[in-house]
A and B are shown apart, each in its own frame.
Chain A
Amino acid sequence: MLSMVDMRTDVEIMLKDIGMTYKTSTNTDVTALTNVTMNIHKGEFVSLLGPSGCGKTTLLRIIADLLTPTVGEISVGGESPREARLKRKYGIVFQGAVLYDWRTVKKNVMLPLEIMHLPKKDCEERADKMLEMVGLKDFAKHYPRQLSGGMQQRVGIARALAIQPEILLMDEPFSALDEFTREKLHEDLLRIWRKTNKTIVFVTHNIQESVFLSDRVCVLSPHPGRISALIDIDLPRPRTVEIKSTPEFTGYVAQIRSSFEGI
């Protein structure tokens, strides 16, 4: 099974025997991740699912070159995470929107483009396009504090996609939102994903969310953080909220729930 996966040529992110060990203040080793091996393919939507302490965010941060693994091999877009970052191959969305409150919505989306030294006209055009895609065209001149939480997170997504990365890394982006807003953003995210063909790595602790969104759910268990299951979600696309009441959907949720170990 594993060898079949390895034979695919469209690997976007390759993780092989990744391990991460922290030293705590009392000088004891804590294993945050061990033996993480998986490939994420181009255009795939993969969720990293697990309870707190399972290392899912650590894994995302390793892919983003925000952390360096203690052991193991990793490549992002065929390169080291560092090279991938320097070439701006990924966009990242955090749990909070992390918007710049002194910049308007549009200027927030333009921020990474300014850093890339794009001509001002291109910055503006691209920002307008991104805001239209996330449905915030009319709010371009607003300041972040004037927006709801869901709208702020849309701006965060627009900003991450503005640099036209191949990969979108999302760290529990919707966990602070209410259920209704979250469901709306789920559908929007899937629409944007279909339109832009990005590879998405999505960290969450919400089982339903991971099943609804993903092609594949990577179930992580804690102590030490490790992959306890990789589950293909074979539900038809495009998906709408109605799918959540089908037996197939609830079957996947039950299967994932039973696959956690050692909590």
Chain B
Amino acid sequence: MKVLKRIINSKYFMVVLWTVLIVTIWEIFAFIVQYTKRTPVNVLPHLSGILESILSTKTINGSQTALQMVLVNAGATLSRAGIGFLIGTALGFVLALLMNLSGTVEKVAFPYLMLIQMIPVLGMAPIILALTGDIGTSRTVIAAILTFYPVATNTLAGFKGVQKEKHELMYSYAASKFQVYVKTLIPACLPSFFTGMKIAAPMAVTASILVDTLQGGIGLGCLLSQSLKGAMTRYVFWQIVLLSAIVGILSFVLIGAIEKKVCPYNQKTKG
């Protein structure tokens, strides 16, 4: 019993359980699909098939294997998404700061923020492309725009959520506005800031892929649509799906790890 309890409480147990569950569910459905659909690989292939295509050394466009192609295109898409994410995060933080400093800025900027957020990515993409004139840059900009909103709103909520007494305490110390921000508001808003980043990271990646599909060039999305149109093996599509899922999880874990490093006080350890 004790051993069982230790296994259940262990850090890795959830990861293992989670993996086993998703593999099982995937395979159950893959079997159903295999016997009920005419082209099972279009609906849900077996994981073994995807694995096989990943490990395959057969070139599919004369020079690259499926995996090589996916990785090269992933590099392009993810670097755009990554750079856009970092720019959007920085801008989002600065805007939150400005909105908190001035009620006027908040009142003026907030409706625009909402508006930008409501324009569908697919509608925004051609406009941004026309403005920037470069496919790569336009996708970075779109990733930045999508990152910007959740980071800005969450950070602003973090600023506003600071206890009234903390403001009064700083007031009683005759602290300058700069000191109020450096000593109180900015450290206090960090958990909310990281929440915003966690929401934004997968959005930046999925938006990048989506815009790829629309505009072509190099990128995961282009590869995705080519594979769907039958220009190359359908397993490329499944490799991309798998890769995107892994990248999404990794970005979440990575931001969580940075958060733990920056805000160690959030850990639930008793000393």
Contact = CB atoms under 8 A, between A and B. Distances in A.
Interface of A: 64-66, 85-86, 88, 90-92, 94, 96, 98, 100-103, 111-112, 114-116, 142-143, 145-146, 163
Contacts of B170: 115
Interface in B167-193: 168-175, 179, 183-184, 187-188, 190
A66 B171 contact: yes
Contact of A88 (B166, B174, B263): B174
Interface in B131-187: 163, 165-166, 168-175, 179, 183-184, 187
Contact of B179 (A103, A115, A143, A145): A115
A168 to B, nearest CB: 12
A92 B168 contact: yes
B35 interface: no
B189 to A, nearest CB: 11
A100 B188 CA distance: 8
Interface string B66-82: 00000000000000000
Contacts of A94: 165, 168-169
A100 B172 contact: no
A163 B173 contact: yes
Interface residues of B, number: 21
Q: Specify the main secondary structure of chain B where it touches its partner.
A: helix
Nearest to B165: A98
Contacts of A103: 265
B178 to A, nearest CB: 11
B265 A102 contact: yes
Identify the interface centre among B168, B171, B172, B187: most chain A CB within 10 Å of its CB.
Answer: B172
Given A102-B265, A145-B265, A96 B165 contact: yes
B107 interface: no
B271 interface: yes
A187 B76 CA distance: 68
